[in-house]
Structure 1
Amino acid sequence: MYSIKTLMMILMLVLSLAACGDAQHESDSRVDAQDEPHQGSHEANEDDSHEGHAEVEGRTHIEPETQQALGIVTEQAGPVVMAELVTAYGHIRTNTDQVTHISARFDGEIKQVHVAVGDRVETGQLLLDIESNESLNRYTMVASVSGLVTQRDANVGEQTNGGELLVITDLSSVWVDLEIFPSDREQIALGMPVSLRAGDMSTIHTGTIAMMLPQAQRNQAVIARVVLDNSNGRLIPGTWVSADIRTGEYEVPLAVRREALQSFRDATVVYVRDGDDFQARVLELGRQSGDWAEVLSGLAPGTRYVTENSYIVKADLEKSGASHNH
């Protein structure tokens, strides 16, 4: 049996241990209460940090050898003189100043025809043999110019009867007639430079406004005429063209090439180069003209960005993002 003194000592020890446990629990509770707002503040800071860099999306690494093999080209963003342009449409026409109509010097019977429509002839080349009705002498007709035979109204045995026998067209230069509508008419003047695309639209031809025809068409457009060199014969009369007429220019402090722009994660971006890393940089764009787009925000002057084959960087970023998501 325990004595009363021993029982009292055991009771005091139990009470003492219980008190220590309560104190420790209160201390732990205070620590938890302090930690909870601190943890919430840290999460908020992470969110704020992410929002602060929302304009930068995506990063990928491409080795220099791979960049060269894929044709990835970069240049620095900076100020650009942009053109004020009026877009017009029209078609290529034969330059009638270079069309030659051929008739017989003396009426008679056509004895021989040496050319056909589509033939290329040179100056001095034999065209026709004709027997004169008056002298019954046979004479020849030769080409006075070089060009293509575009019309023939002469066959063996026929009489010339003062008519037009052949048409030779020199296509070494052609006209481009552009339709200028009333809303643009005041901006267009003689001598303004013009960039034109015809046919496959890949080749750019340049010229100037040489003439404004004085009469409006049925659609109320007036014709602005451009004379183009066609020594290579690639510009075919009748082909439709689009043209940009340069009516003025202005300088912007920062611009990028429009071919560099890509759509990425619902934004318009360029891919900036940082060493051998590439990042998608979200841009706010202003005016666009020709090959250039004005940058209002999202890019610093002097930043090097991808100008050629940017779609390759985009594909690599999208592939990297897909792998990361899995």
Structure 2
Amino acid sequence: MNKKQKIIIAVMAVIGLLLAAWILAPKQAGESHDDHGHDGKEKAPAKAAAAPPAGELAHADGEVPEKIVLDAAQVKAAGIALAAAAPAKISVVTSLPGEIRFNEDRTAHVVPKLAGVVMEVHADLGQSVKQGQVLAVIASSGLSDQRSELLSAQRRLALASTTLEREKRLWQDKISAEQDYLQAQQAMSEAEIAVQNARQKLSAIGAGVGSGTGSGSGKNLNRLELRAPFSGVVMEKHLAQGEAVKEDAIVFTLSDLSTVWAEIAVPPRDLNLMRVGETVTVKATAFAAEAKGKIIYVGELLGEQTRTAKARVALANPDRAWRPGLFITVDVLSGSANRNANAADAAVAVASDAVQMVEERPVVFVETAGGFLAQPVKLGRSDGKMTEVLAGLKPGVRYVATGSFVLKAELGKDSAEHTH
């Protein structure tokens, strides 16, 4: 083989290699397309998160919430009621600190009004007493003097009455002068005035004539009975048998605890919310209790030290759960049924009882096909009845308004089963 033939063979080999490369190029591109495509034959990519079915909502992080499946019988047994998320007016609630106080209109300080020595004590600290019940008995010389004065006035009145009758007969029979008859009339009038005066003195200190004095025996003239002015509870007691007490000493403090006052410290910026007659909610800070009451007083002056005004709420206390000295908070609505103009508009709102805390975040259980989902939400304002939803829920979505705590319990059971 000569040199020319070798050159021809080399050129043909090169041309063949180029043709082979040109033919194989589309196939390799296709294989590369298959490697990066979505057919999953060569390399299976990570599966994308499945979107929730139509009408169901997803968590904020994209994860589909777990469905709680309950049949119609279980829903009825659990007392679950549904409602639709909708716009609402949310009244802004202002919470103010306060303290339970005695109802001063139904609190009395019992004083003897006369000095003496304690003979008997019939009431103990914390005892419930009825109106007119004897609390204690005091021996008082001052009372004895006043009763003696009344007895003397009564005797003079009786004598004046007899004298008047006699002088009247003598004057009518023309035996005595008319002047004697007129003097007898004057003596009778003065005796009546003296008796009335003595009785009023005894009435002013709450004492009667005394047992036995009506028959003239004059027994127990010094016996002073201290009686309850109204039904209530003995809150303070400052006397003992045999103790000498002064006329102005507070020996008992009695209070009717069927009603109490909630006294509130109101800063100037919130004074416009406090209106006499408005209904507010009183909540205890030491335990779970709340009650409704009406504002009965709003102070006009600010305290020099606190720079707050005082307001009072009348609170019914039939079970005596609201004890004087208990710290409280009072929720005052800036917008109520008759002042909706002061309430704030919420684009989406749900019943406050529908909100539950799951894994330290608020959720609302929404209705879905065949069950319920715990939908995380972002909350806004609340007036205790309705709560604003800022994110996580759209208007018209049906949610569990009553009985959501049952679904929360079911959700907790499912989580525990998956953990084990």
Please tell me the root mean square deviation across aligned C-alpha atoms, in Å: 3.7
Q: Which whole-Å deviations, capped at 9, do the CAs of 1:58-99 have from their partners, x for residues lacking one?
A: 132433355566666544323333211111111101111111
1:246: how far off?
0.9
- Partner SS state of residue 127, structure 1: strand
Equivalent residue, structure 2, for 1:220: 307
1:226: how far off?
0.9
Q: Among 275, 284, 297, which residue is 1:211 paired with?
A: 297
For structure 1, the residue ranges without an aligned partner over 5 or more in a row are 1-20
What residue identity is the alignment partner of 1:298? G
Which has the higher mean CA deviation after the structures are superposed, 81-90 or 58-67?
Answer: 58-67
Counting aligned pairs with the same residue, the percent is: 25
Equivalent residue, structure 2, for 1:15: none
1:239: how far off?
0.3
Quick check: 1:303 aligned with 2:397?
Answer: yes
Q: Which whole-Å deviations, capped at 9, do the CAs of 1:102-129 have from their partners, x for residues lacking one?
A: 2235443321111111111001212222
Quick check: 1:94 aligned with 2:102?
Answer: yes
What residue identity is the alignment partner of 1:103? V
Quick check: 1:194 aligned with 2:291?
Answer: no
Which has the higher mean CA deviation after the structures are superposed, 168-177 or 310-319?
Answer: 310-319
Contact 2:280 2:333 in 1 (8 A): yes
Q: How is 1:129-148 mapped onto 2 (pairs within 5 angstroms)?
A: 129-134=137-142, 135=144, 137=221, 138-148=223-233
User: Structure 1 residues 63, 30: closer, same or farther in 2, change over 3 A?
Assistant: same
Equivalent residue, structure 2, for 1:256: 350
1:271: how far off?
2.0
Query: Following the alignment from structure 1 to structure 2, what is the Cα–Cα distance between the partners of residues 146 and 289?
Result: 38
What residue identity is the alignment partner of 2:276? L
User: Structure 1 residues 36, 287: closer, same or farther in 2, change over 3 A?
Assistant: farther
Query: Following the alignment from structure 2 to structure 1, what is the Cα–Cα distance between the partners of residues 413 and 385?
Result: 25
Equivalent residue, structure 2, for 1:39: 38
Q: Which whole-Å deviations, capped at 9, do the CAs of 1:30-70 have from their partners, x for residues lacking one?
A: 654565565289979956958x9565731324333555666
* TM-score, normalised with respect to structure 1: 0.76
Contact 1:60 1:320 in 2 (8 A): no
Greater fraction helix: 2
What residue identity is the alignment partner of 2:38? Q
What residue identity is the alignment partner of 2:321? R
Q: How is 1:45-64 mapped onto 2 (pairs within 5 angstroms)?
A: 46=48, 55=60, 57-64=64-71
Query: Following the alignment from structure 2 to structure 1, what is the Cα–Cα distance between the partners of residues 278 and 39?
Result: 65
User: Structure 1 residues 153, 261: closer, same or farther in 2, change over 3 A?
Assistant: closer
Greater fraction strand: 1
Q: How is 1:167-178 mapped onto 2 (pairs within 5 angstroms)?
A: 167-178=253-264
1:228: how far off?
0.8
Q: Among 295, 316, 325, which residue is 1:229 paired with?
A: 316
- Partner SS state of residue 251, structure 2: strand
Quick check: 1:162 aligned with 2:247?
Answer: yes
Whose Rg is larger?
A: 2
User: Structure 1 residues 83, 28: closer, same or farther in 2, change over 3 A?
Assistant: same
- Number of paired residues? 302
- Partner SS state of residue 312, structure 1: helix
Which has the higher mean CA deviation after the structures are superposed, 306-315 or 117-126?
Answer: 306-315
Q: Among 237, 241, 245, which residue is 2:332 paired with?
A: 245
- Partner SS state of residue 57, structure 1: coil
- Partner SS state of residue 246, structure 2: coil
Query: Following the alignment from structure 1 to structure 2, what is the Cα–Cα distance between the partners of residues 316 and 128?
Result: 64
Contact 1:211 1:226 in 2 (8 A): yes
Query: Following the alignment from structure 2 to structure 1, what is the Cα–Cα distance between the partners of residues 120 and 58?
Result: 83
Query: Following the alignment from structure 1 to structure 2, what is the Cα–Cα distance between the partners of residues 158 and 263?
Result: 62
Query: Following the alignment from structure 1 to structure 2, what is the Cα–Cα distance between the partners of residues 133 and 114?
Result: 21
Q: How is 1:108-127 mapped onto 2 (pairs within 5 angstroms)?
A: 108-127=116-135
Q: Among 387, 391, 401, which residue is 1:293 paired with?
A: 387
What residue identity is the alignment partner of 2:368? D
Equivalent residue, structure 1, for 2:271: 185
- Partner SS state of residue 195, structure 1: strand
What residue identity is the alignment partner of 1:110? V
1:237: how far off?
0.1
Contact 1:152 1:166 in 2 (8 A): yes
Equivalent residue, structure 1, for 2:235: 150
Equivalent residue, structure 2, for 1:17: none
Query: Following the alignment from structure 1 to structure 2, what is the Cα–Cα distance between the partners of residues 161 and 263?
Result: 62
Q: Among 399, 404, 409, which residue is 1:312 paired with?
A: 409
1:320: how far off?
7.2
User: Structure 1 residues 110, 303: closer, same or farther in 2, change over 3 A?
Assistant: same
Query: Following the alignment from structure 2 to structure 1, what is the Cα–Cα distance between the partners of residues 274 and 33?
Result: 74
Contact 1:209 1:226 in 2 (8 A): yes
For structure 2, the residue ranges without an aligned partner over 5 or more in a row are 1-19, 145-219, 336-342
Equivalent residue, structure 2, for 1:85: 93
